[in-house]
Structures are given as structure tokens and as C-alpha cells.
Amino acid sequence: MQHRIPIEELGAHGRAMADAAAMCVHCGFCLPTCPTYQVLGEEMDSPRGRIYLMKGVLEGELDARAVAAHVDRCLGCLACESACPSGVPYHRLLLPYRAATADKVRHPFLARARRRLALSTLPYRRRFRIAVRAGRLTRRLRPVVPAALRPMLDLVPDRLPTAEPIPETIPAVGARRARVALLIGCVQEVLEPEINRATIDVLTRNGVEVVVPGGQGCCGALGWHVGEIDDARMHARRLLSAFPRDVDAIIVNAAGCGSGIKDYPLMFAGQPEEAAARELAERAVDVSVFLDRLGILPPPPLEAPLRVAYHDACHLCHAQQVRSEPRRLLRAIPGLELVELDDGERCCGSAGTYNIDQPEIAGELGRMKADAVRRTGADLVALGNIGCMVQIRAHLGANGKGRPIPVLHTVQVLSLAYAGRLTSVLPPRGDADGDRCRAPSPVPARAG
Amino acid sequence: MTTVSPDRIEDVVAAVREHSRVVAHGARTKAPLVAEEPGALYIDTTRLRGVVEYDPGEFTFTALAGTPLSEIQALLAENGQHLPFDPPLACAGATLGGTVAAAINGSGRLRFGGVRDFVIGVRFVDGTGKLVRGGGKVVKNAAGFDLPKLMVGSLGRLGVLIELSFKVFPAPPAWRTIRVKCAGVEDAVTVMAELGRRPFDLEALDLEPPGTLVLRVSGDEAMLDVHAARVGAATGRPFEVVAGADEEGYWQGLRDFAWAPQECWIAKVPLTLRRLPELERVLAARDIARRYAVAGNVAWLAWPVERPRTELDLAGLSGLFVRGPALDGASPWIGPTNVGAAIFARRVKDALDPDGRFPPLVPDVRAVSAAAS
Amino acid sequence: MAPINELIRGLRAIVPERRLLLGRAQLAAYESDALTAFAVSPTAVVLAESADEVIRTVRLCHDLGVPFVPRGSGTSLSGGSLPIEGGVIIALNRLNRILELDPDRRIAVVEPGVINLHVSRAAAPYGLHYAPDPSSQQVCTIGGNIGFNSGGAHCLKYGMTANHVLGLKAVLATGEVVELGGDSLETIEPDWTGLFVGSEGLFGIALEITLRLLPIAESSYTILAGYDTVEAAGEAVARIVAAGLLPAAMEIMDAIAIEAATAAVHAEYPPGAEAVLIVELEAPRDLLEAERRRLDDLIRESGAIGVHTATSPEERAAIWRGRKSAFSAVGRLSPDYLVQDGVVPRSRLGYALRRIVELSREYGLRVANVFHAGDGNLHPLILYDGQREGEFERAEALAGRILDLCIELGGSITGEHGVGVEKRAFLPRMFAPDDVDAFHRIRLAMDPKQIANRGKMFPSLRELGAGSVAEHPPMVEAL
């Protein structure tokens, strides 16, 4: 598409944004795959429309404030990138655009407060724990809490799991085939620490030594996805020096973080850290991809057949084009029947902090995802992202509808299968406590 | 009644321009459709004939409107091609123009479509005496309004057809007919509905009331019997497969309306499976010769000339007398007119024939459209 | 034309605020469709949700003399849903219900905003499908298909949109609601429905459309053959047709299109092929074998340098994905392009392609070729970079020369995309003045105020007097 974007005036990101807009031929193939277009049915809330509007703002033809609501509503799910025949790298326009226009658009006070609150608690594990406990107390005051802040309250879990701290090095079981570093994440380690422990369990069982460097924090994806680039870079810089060189890969087990790290070269374009950012991005790999490439030990057969629905996290399937690896891993478990969800690649509504910022759309998408899950008759949902886990659990449990369906990370499924305890995860018939179902901790692999 | 029989296009144009009321016709094989307009000039187009262009490699031809179907079919057959809409009355001398103007298709149209689906270009003289072209000579064309389709079924009321271009298909190498014995009409309708969903590529699906279904399939000789047997078995009813001269003869007879008694009018009634049982009840009660074709999308019936036409009850459906003696000024339409289309029809008529040179579309369409607006 | 305030007041009485777009940014999103060379901002966009809202909006526009443009998914390649300055866009994408689907009568009654592919999806459980398959079928709407008589790869055997519409209900530009056709395959009146389909929105807006459904083919055979010249591929097509085979589809892609599709969807093509031919046969199970053998023989004799045969539904889908993504995939090779849609008699395909190569050299622009070889429908994609001085004008001029070539060879200026804005200057080159006059009389009878999709199909007065070379059609136009 023709454009008059003044690239030179837009700094290091100018070229990336202009090139992305130029590749778009306005064909519209992205429209049916865009969740917000499906829900809202208007051109401004479609990828094609957003590209056009962002282009207009960058050209100086349109006011960023007039366009803001539509850009805010974008989930960043990148389903459009998967659908686009021209290969438009939509995220290379959206994310730098959000960063570039953050100070031009003045959101309402409460929305800004909410954003500040999220960015100052979620990335910090200790603060987040405190905030959750405070949230539980504040829940009773929900009716008097401003509407803009209520979605945050609604997502606070009832109780926080406790877990043993992770040692710095966990040796492989048996002969060592590889050595990796693990990114433990921020929110994930607080809300569902079992994911990291299961990751370590599965890796070590398969002969991989795992190093968990201290001093890791948030990867910065949360801020990056909403245009808070300074905040994002601050977190990312810490990570750039956190990982040792002598590992075969840096394992990421949260899709949102994996895609965030893949964007580091863009995040640091024109910055002194650009080379280091590129290097880290190249070394990072999703746990499912690493395990699939490595070749895992076959898990023992399940005690009883289990139907598992696999949910594609947007930041795995669209942002990183990872689809077949988790499926192959799950299918390696004898007795596990893998089923697909209708419109499986449609976002569940989690999308970083989207379910806090845009609760109506997120709610609609979450409902649609939960309905799709129930339609498969699955006993369990497997996925690869903490945000999706929280969102889908909340919607599966909503209104106490139907029988409870546990939601687990792919590595948790593998870990339990190795221990012969996967079927024990299922609630006994008649248990209505849907979203309270939590996986029991994996049995730690023996060293030596 | 003055009739002229021009053999050149410019003479047809002149005839239209010089007269205030004009009625065009072909070989009059569908006499009820030729309007009776006292004082009008009748233009007989049967001398305006001849295939103008035909390239077998292109699968298209262009011919003057008065060309007999039989001439075209013979030419196509020499090149292994045919008209997929299976037009009837070729033996009676029907012309290409008359077939288009009357929108008359045979049972064989089921598979690929009717006249409207194969006409790709038209030249006609409109009511202002202008020679107008629509469409073209190539099979894909989205330029301009689709005047070729508009002319299908226009019965000479929107223009005098001069030249027509068609696309054609390869003629199948072999045919089989499958006769299926159903318990009665309701059973036959059930079987037709199921057959219609199966990917059998049926060329025809007719019903001889009360319960005999007659199907036709085509293809390479080698596996055709297997295919035909499979289709028959799929009905779950007793069936037999027919091939050879008798098979061809049966369908040729249909094209000549051989099943209809002498001295009758033949009417065409558009239909769907949903309304078929109802119509059948009404027609059976009157003991009228009839058959159903195109998977229940049309009923053909023969109304004896000695019975008053006003007695013909089509259970609320609309029909058209297409063959038989002339109607002496009476309307060939039976049953209710399509009120929903009246405004649209009126406007097209006013655009193409503002001075009313050609017969009216439907009697009192003006009154009908006034009532509807 | 009435003052804008009166228009907006009237529109506010029809749809709630959130479905009446008036803001500059919102309107900007609707400025163009898939023909990005032209962009015009409308005065208002109405996001209709019911036939009643559409009718009332049309009536208001008629009363005030305000032009309107219906829009589905905005995927027209001829500028069919380009807004008119001062006019209203009536967005139909939310009228997306399938009102009825009857497997016994094999019909579906749909609202205009239903996506083409969704009709087939809904019909699939009954073993039925909706045959017209434009490459954009996952996003284009039935309403848009009706407006432009859309085609697709499979219309060679099964026909275009018009051949699958049995009837429709529409609101005319003057506000009356008409019902044309019905649900039967046979009729006893002129083909009103056939006239409406392909009328490019100049008569009014279709509100309910009765579509014909066909059984899904039982077995198919899809092959992809590579050739070292486009002419050789064209020759193969001629042989197949001459042999009396009637494939369901026959498509050719040339080297540039192959390059694009390979990059876009990782399609696999025989190495070294300058052109590929895709042929698909569909037949009942017992009859496919004979056809398949004939086709294999013909392909073998045609000198193909490599042949892929689809041995599974996934492989068949992959072959089609490559072809169907070709247009948009070309976006990877060039910042901009113009898609053309000319038709030439099949026997002149080779000649036409040679001429296009000569013309592309003359104008210094690359041209990718994708086409429905079976029916002579070419889609030259003229690649250009709008940022470079004069390149757009050269591309348009080249486009005009190609259209002239099609007319000269006795073909058509458009096979399936419609005239729209893009080719309106060429209508008088393909049709004589009396023909265009007849079209015009019909248009004026339906729409005396010329408010329905004004500026489409008919050339502007300036273009009529412009002479033989197409000028850049002005974006603001009143006849």
C-alpha cells in the first residue's frame, strides 16, 4: 500500500513500521481471523483497518487520540500475521506504534491508574504476592471499587500456592544430553509455581541439566505489549545479563514471555543493547520446541484413557508459529486422545493485561473459548501460557457450569504422566469446585 | 394480420422502427406464447438464420435467432459437443431465438443448467428501434448489465432477438437410464430429495406419476453400468437400468412431448419438491396428463383443448401455456402473477420499450404495480 | 444535495450512535477496498444490523438525494465499494445470518453479509456446498458476490455467482422492496434475478438471497504440472479441452506468481518451472478413473517438466492455498500492484501472454500472471512502487493497454471482478454507444437520481470525451 510515513522522523522504529504498512495490500484476508472484528464487526477494529489508521497517524493525517481506542482494543494476538498472504509483520507496526504514541494519548485517569498498578505489581513477585493478598481483602469492597479497576479484582485467585524455592542447578537424571537455563517468569512463579517445577522435572528426566540463575525478573513483555517501552527495556536489560553463556538454550515456558523475548531486537532497535538483545533472542526457545527437538523418553501408558484438548496460545501459535511441537509431545503419551478446539487459534481473551483493560471483549472471547472446550467433551485442557491458564480456568468455572475441567501446562501433563499420576488430576464425579482444581506438585526427580 | 419475414438484420431493425406495434416470433412451435395484437406487424424471424461463428476449440458459437435448433445440434454433434440445457421441440422446428425467449429447457438441464446458464451474448432490437448488444462471445464476462440473461424468458416483450452467443459443453460418450419404482408420490419425493444430495452427477431426474422415477447418467462406457447400478441401488427401491436405442428414444420422445395427448395445451409450472405433492393431488384429481422433471423443479401438464382453461387449478402456483393452439388474445399465464417483481419488471420494460411497441409483459402489470407500491 | 445535518439527523433516527460512524478516523478506515489506488472518505458509515435499517437508510438517502455505497467486507478489486464524497457507506457485514438452509430443495437463503465460505460450511453436514469460490471466499460476502457476479477457479464447470442465485429480495435505489425469482430452478418470466446479479450495486441493495447448493463432489483428482514456458502450459490446456474433458478447474501461474506463492504459503512447485498448471477433475467415484487416465496421458504428452499429484485432501488443499493466496502474496514482491481481470478467447491465450510480456517491457514494469486458463480469464498483476515518480501512472497506462488487447481479441474487459471504478473508462470501448445507452436507460429507470453506487461501471463525462488512452479516473465524480 502506498504511504507517506516520514521514516526519518520516527527514529529507529520508523523503518520497521513503514515497511510493515507498505506490505499490506488491503486485501482483507485478516478480517475473519481477527477476534475483535468478529466481536465488534467494524473496520476500525480489524487488522486491515488498524494498519490503515496507524499509517494515517504516522503520516500526520489522523490524530492519535482519535485512533487510540481502536489500537487499544487490539489483542496483539497476531492471528492476522498467520492469515496474511502478503506476510505483513503486524506486530512490527503495532508495538512500536504504541510505544511512539504512548505520550500523545492521554487515557482516562482510572485507566492510567490501573495500568500503573498492573505494571508495578505483576512483574515483581514479592509485590505481586502482597497485592494478591490485599486483593482478596478488597474483594468484599468490590461494589465500591471503580468499575475500571474491578476486572483486576475479579482475576485475583482465592489462594496462592506455596512452593519450595528452586535450587540454582538441578542435575540431569542419568547421562547428560544437554544443559539449559530456565526463565522462571514473574506472574507464573506466583500463580502457578508448579509449571516451573514440572518444567525442571521433565527436562531433568530427559537428561537435561537445568540452571536457574538468580536475579531474574520479568522479561518486559507486559510493558512492551502495551507501549510502555521504557518500563519494558528496564526489565529486559536485567535479563540480558542474567543468563550464562555456557548453556545450549534458554528455556521459556510461557508463550507471552517467549514472544516478548523474540521481539528484543525490535525493542532495542537503535539502542546500545541491540546486539545483546538479538543474541539472547536467538538463544531463547519454547520448552515444547526444545523437548520436541531433543526427543523425549516415552512416558508410561496412562492408567485410563484421557481426552485432552490442546489450546493454542496466540503467542505460541501466531507469534512464534509453534503448533505441532506441543501436540507431538502430548500424543507421545499412550492413552491420551488429543482433540482440537473449534476456532482453536482464536485468542482466549487473556492477551497480557487485556483481560484487565478490555474486560467486555475479553469476557466474550473467554466465554467462546470455554464453550469450545466443553463441546469437545475433554477431560483436561493443555496449553503453554500462564495468562491463558488464568483466563480459561476463570471462564470454565464461571457460573459453576457443567463438570470441572482441569487446565494444565503441557509440561505439567508430561510430568504427571511420567509419574503415573495424570489421571489422578481429574476431579471425582460430582465435584463442582471447577476452578479450584489444582495440579498436585510433581514428584521431584531423584538426582544422581 | 401483416407478417414480414426478413432475412437480413437491417430489415428487422427497419420493421421495428416503422411500426408502432410489433410482435416477433420464430417457428411458432410454442404458439400460445405468440401474442395476439390486432393491427400489429408480425415479424417472422425464421429466415434470419445461420451459424455466424463456431470454433469447436472455444466451445462457443454465435448464431442468428431464427436458426433451427436442429441445425445447431447437428453441427455441434459433428464436433462431439452439445447444448447442455437439452431444449425440446427441435424436431418440431424450434428456433434458437424462440427457445431463449420462452426459456424452455429439457429434463437434461438438471446437471449443468438451463438456457440462462449457457447464453453468453445477445443482440436484439429494442423498443426504440436500436440494435443493442449485451454480453459477448467469451464464457466469462462481467462487463455491463447481463442483458443476455434478461432476454431469457422475455417472450419478445423486451426486444426482438437477432443474434445469440452460447457456450457449450462436450457431449457425453454414453448414457444410461435408471427406472426406479417408488411406492407413490410421497415416497418418490423422499427419494428425489435424498438423490439430490448425493454426488451422482445426475443428468436428469424425472417423475412419471404416481411413483416411477426416471434418472439419467452419463460418462465413459467402461464403468457406466457400475455407476448406474450404484445409483439405482442407492435409492433403496426396485430399479432397472436401460441402455441403447430405446434409452435414447425415450428422452427424444420427451423432447417432442410425446406423452401428451393430441389436441391439448402443454403448460410449464415451476415448482419445488415442497409443493409437488400438493400439485400432484390437484392434477391427479382432474386426471390430467402430466409429468415432473428437473428433480421436482418443474411440472409439465397437458390440458385438453375442449376444457375451459379457467378450470385449470394449479394449487396456487403459477404456470405458462407453452404449446398447443393459439390462444386468440388470451393470456398464456396461469395463476397469480409475481407481484413482488412487478415494479422491477415495469421499470425494465419502460427502459427498453418506452413506447410499448412490443406486447405487454404480463396483462395489467401497470395495475399490479400500482397496487403494490 | 441536502445539508449534512439533515442527513445525520435522519441517520440517527435509524441506528444507534455506536453504529453510526462520523468521526474522521472511523471514516478513514472505510476509504477504500482492495483497490488501494483510490481512497475517498465518506460522510457517514451506517453499520446496519437488519434489512429494515438498510431499507430506511436507502429511503432517507433517496429523499435527500444523497449517494450511497453498499459494502460487505470491502474486498473488491475493482473499487466496487469505493465511497463517494458526500455519500453514505451502508455496511452490510453485520447482516450475516443464514436465514434458511433446506437440504431437500437444496437452497440456502442468506443475508448479504454472510461470508461466501460460510455458506459451504453450513451446507457441509448435508453433503452440499456453494460452488462459486472466489479466491477471497474466506472473507468476501455473498452481497458483494451478487454485485459483481463473482467467479472463482471452479466456475469453469459450475458457473459463476449468477448461475447459483435463484431469487432475491432487494431494496431499489428509489426505496421500494422487490422480490425477484423464487426458489425453483425453472421460471416463467424474464430472468430478473439474472439482470440484478452483476449490476454493480447500481439498482439497489440485495437483502435476502436464495442460493443454489450442489452436492460436494465425491472424488477429485488434482494435479500440478510444471512447464518451462507459459505457452507450453497454455498448449496443455488447449489439448485437455479439445479432448472433451471438462475439468472442474484449470489454473495457470507464471514464474513471478510462483515466486510469491512459494514465499507466502511455502507452496511447492517443480523446480525450474516457469509456469505451473493446476487441473482438478471431479466425478462420482466409479467415473473418475477413466477421466483421470485421460488427463494423465494428456499431461504426459504435453511435455510437463514435473508433476505433483495430490494424494490426500491436505495436499489438495495445499495446492489450492498456493493459488488462492497468489494475488495477495504478490504484496511480498512489490509495494503496490494493480490486478487486472481481462478475458480472451482461450485459443488466443498464448498470443495474449506474449503481448503482455512485450508490453511489460515497453512500460518497464513487471507483470505476474495468474489465470483461469480454462475460460481464458487473465489476471495480470502489474507490480509498481507508488513511491517512485510516475510509476503509478505508467502502471495504469499499461493496464489500459492490456484491456485494449482483450477487446481487440474479442474478449472482455472483466471476467469476474466487475467494471467498478477501475475500468469504467473502458466500457465504451467494449460496447457501442447504443449498448451503453441501453444500460443507462435501465439504470435510470431503477435509480433516476443516480445515488446507488454512483461513479461505478459508467464512465464519467470527462472520460467519455477523453479519447483512447485511459486517464486516471477522478475520485470525486458526478455524472
* Helices B276-285, B185-197: crossing angle, 10 deg rounding: 150
Q: What is the CATH number of the domain that holds C401?
A: 3.30.1370.10
pLDDT at residue C471 is higher than 60? no
| Inside any domain, residue C417 | no
- Chain A nearest-CA residue for C33: A26
| Residues B15, B134 share a domain | yes
| B/A Cβ contact: 3+ pairs below 8 Å | no
- Chain C nearest-CA residue for A39: C94
| Residues B364, B316 share a domain | no
> According to the model, what pLDDT value does residue C1 have?
53
Residue pLDDT, tens place only, C205-231: 999 999 999 999 999 999 999 999 888
| Inside any domain, residue C415 | no
| Residues C210, C102 share a domain | yes
DSSP for C294-350? Answer: HHHHHHHHTT-SEEEE--SHHHHHHHHHHHHTHHHHGGGT-SEEEE---B--GGGHH
Assigned C-alpha cell, A403: 463438570
- Quote the pTM value: 0.92
Residue pair B164/B124 in contact by the 8 Å Cβ criterion: no
3-state secondary structure of C76: coil
| Residues A413, A331 share a domain | yes
Residue C11 Cα to chain centre, angstroms: 30
| Inside any domain, residue C396 | yes
- Chain A nearest-CA residue for C71: A43
Residue pair A83/A33 in contact by the 8 Å Cβ criterion: yes
Give the number of C-alpha atoms closer than 13 A to the C-alpha of residue A333, restricted to the C-beta side. 30
| Residues B52, B164 share a domain | yes
- Chain A nearest-CA residue for C94: A41
Domain carrying residue C110: 98-215
Q: Which of C215, C234, C266 is the last residue of a domain?
A: C215
User: A280-295 burial, b for 16+ CB within 10 Å, e for fewer?
Assistant: bbebbbbbbbbbbebe
How is residue B30 annotated by DSSP? T
As for how many domains chain B has, the answer is 4
How is residue B288 annotated by DSSP? -
| Inside any domain, residue A50 | yes
pLDDT category of residue C35 using cuts at 50, 70 and 90: confident
Contacts of C429 in chain B (CB under 8 A): none
Residue pair A259/A320 in contact by the 8 Å Cβ criterion: yes
C115 at A interface, C-beta within 8 A: yes
Q: What is the CATH number of the domain that holds C262?
A: 3.30.70.2190
Q: Which of C328, C347, C367 is the last residue of a domain?
A: C328
Q: Which of A74, A101, A128 is the last residue of a domain?
A: A101
Residue pLDDT, tens place only, B199-254: 999 999 999 999 999 999 999 999 999 999 999 999 999 999 999 999 999 999 99
Q: How many CB pairs under 8 A join A and C?
A: 107
C314 at A interface, C-beta within 8 A: no
Assigned C-alpha cell, A393: 480456568
Pick the closest to residue C379 from C349, C334, C409 (CA basis). C349
> According to the model, what pLDDT value does residue A402 have?
65
| Inside any domain, residue A264 | no
| Residues B131, B58 share a domain | yes
| Residues C198, C117 share a domain | yes
| Residues B102, B205 share a domain | no
- Label each residue of A39-75 as H, E or C: HHCCHHHCHHHHHHHHHHHHCCCCCHHHHHHHHHCCC
Tell me chain C's radius of gyration from C-alpha atoms. Answer: 22
Q: How far is C201 from chain A (nearest CA, A)?
A: 20
| Residues B81, B29 share a domain | yes
pLDDT category of residue C346 using cuts at 50, 70 and 90: confident
Q: How far is C21 from chain A (nearest CA, A)?
A: 10
Residue with cell 462471445: B137
C74 at A interface, C-beta within 8 A: yes
Contacts of B144 in chain C (CB under 8 A): 419, 427, 430-431, 435-436, 439, 457
| Residues A423, A398 share a domain | yes
As for how many domains chain A has, the answer is 3
| Residues A129, A85 share a domain | no
How is residue C458 annotated by DSSP? S
- Chain A nearest-CA residue for C325: A85
> According to the model, what pLDDT value does residue C94 have?
97
As for how many domains chain C has, the answer is 5
Beta bridge partners of C281: C221
| Inside any domain, residue C159 | yes
pLDDT category of residue A400 using cuts at 50, 70 and 90: low
Q: What is the CATH number of the domain that holds B282?
A: 3.30.70
> According to the model, what pLDDT value does residue B187 have?
97
Contacts of C73 in chain A (CB under 8 A): 28, 31
| pLDDT, mean of residues A321-329 | 97
| Residues C171, C113 share a domain | yes
Mutation to test the C interface, candidates A23, A37, A42, most C Cβ within 10 Å: A42
| Residues A305, A405 share a domain | yes
- C-alpha–C-alpha distance, residues A28 and A393, integer Å: 33
Contacts of B200 in chain C (CB under 8 A): 215, 284
Q: Which of B123, B138, B170 is the last residue of a domain?
A: B170
* Contacting residues for A294 by C-beta, under 8 A, at least 6 apart: A177, A178, A206, A208
> According to the model, what pLDDT value does residue B224 have?
96
| pLDDT, mean of residues C167-196 | 97
| Inside any domain, residue C191 | yes
| Residues A347, A433 share a domain | yes
Nearest by CB to B158, which of C155, C190, C375? C190
| Residues A115, A53 share a domain | no
| Residues B304, B157 share a domain | no
Contacts of C327 in chain A (CB under 8 A): 25, 27, 85
Other residues' Cβ atoms within 10 Å of the Cβ of residue A51? 26
Please tell me the least confidently modeled range out of A114-128, A281-295, B180-194, B293-307. A114-128
**Taking CB atoms and an 8 Å limit, are A66 and C331 in contact across chains?**
no
| Residues B127, B36 share a domain | yes
> According to the model, what pLDDT value does residue C2 have?
62
Q: Alpha-carbon torsion B304, B308, B310, B315, what sign?
A: negative
- Chain B nearest-CA residue for C434: B132
- C-alpha–C-alpha distance, residues C444 and C22, integer Å: 30
**Taking CB atoms and an 8 Å limit, are A29 and C136 in contact across chains?**
yes
Q: How far is A2 from chain C (nearest CA, A)?
A: 6
Mean pLDDT of chain A, nearest integer: 89
* C306-310 own/partner pairs: CB under 8 Å, 24+ apart: C306/C225, C306/C226, C306/C270, C306/C271, C306/C272, C306/C273, C307/C223, C307/C224, C307/C225, C307/C226, C307/C270, C308/C223, C308/C224, C308/C225, C308/C268, C308/C270, C309/C221, C309/C222, C309/C223, C310/C221, C310/C222, C310/C223, C310/C224
Residue pLDDT, tens place only, C408-462: 999 999 999 999 988 998 899 899 999 999 999 999 999 999 999 999 999 987 7
| Residues C117, C78 share a domain | no
| Residues B59, B205 share a domain | no
| pLDDT, mean of residues B184-193 | 97
| Inside any domain, residue A325 | yes
| Residues B201, B139 share a domain | no
Indicate the length of chain A as a whole number: 448
Q: Residue B142, exposed/middle/buried by CB under 10 A (0-12, 13-18, 19+)?
A: buried
Domain carrying residue A148: 109-154
Greatest Cα pair distance in chain B: 63
| Inside any domain, residue C414 | no
| Residues A128, A96 share a domain | no
| Inside any domain, residue A75 | yes
**Taking CB atoms and an 8 Å limit, are B227 and C103 in contact across chains?**
no
Domain carrying residue B41: 2-170
Greatest Cα pair distance in chain C: 70
Residue pLDDT, tens place only, A97-125: 999 999 888 888 878 888 888 888 888 88
pLDDT at residue B90 is higher than 60? yes
Q: What is the CATH number of the domain that holds B202?
A: 3.30.70.2190
| Residues B227, B95 share a domain | no
- Work out the angle at residue B228's Cα, subtended by the Cα atoms of residues B226 and B234, and round it to the nearest 5 degrees: 100
- C-alpha–C-alpha distance, residues A225 and A71, integer Å: 12
Q: Which of A56, A84, A101 is the last residue of a domain?
A: A101
**Taking CB atoms and an 8 Å limit, are B140 and C289 in contact across chains?**
no
| Residues A423, A321 share a domain | yes
- The percentage of residues in chain C with a pLDDT greater than 90, rounded to a whole number, is 74
Using CB atoms, list chains with 3+ pairs below 8 Å to chain A: C
> According to the model, what pLDDT value does residue B316 have?
92
pLDDT category of residue A144 using cuts at 50, 70 and 90: confident
- C-alpha–C-alpha distance, residues C473 and C399, integer Å: 13
Nearest by CB to A28, which of C75, C263, C265? C75
Pick the closest to residue C253 from C327, C303, C316, C158 (CA basis). C327
Q: How far is C96 from chain A (nearest CA, A)?
A: 10
ipTM of the complex: 0.96
pLDDT category of residue A221 using cuts at 50, 70 and 90: very high
- Chain B nearest-CA residue for C163: B117
Residue pLDDT, tens place only, A268-309: 999 999 999 999 999 999 999 999 999 999 999 998 999 999
Assigned C-alpha cell, A187: 506472574
pLDDT at residue A334 is higher than 90? yes
Q: Residue C13, exposed/middle/buried by CB under 10 A (0-12, 13-18, 19+)?
A: exposed
How is residue C217 annotated by DSSP? P
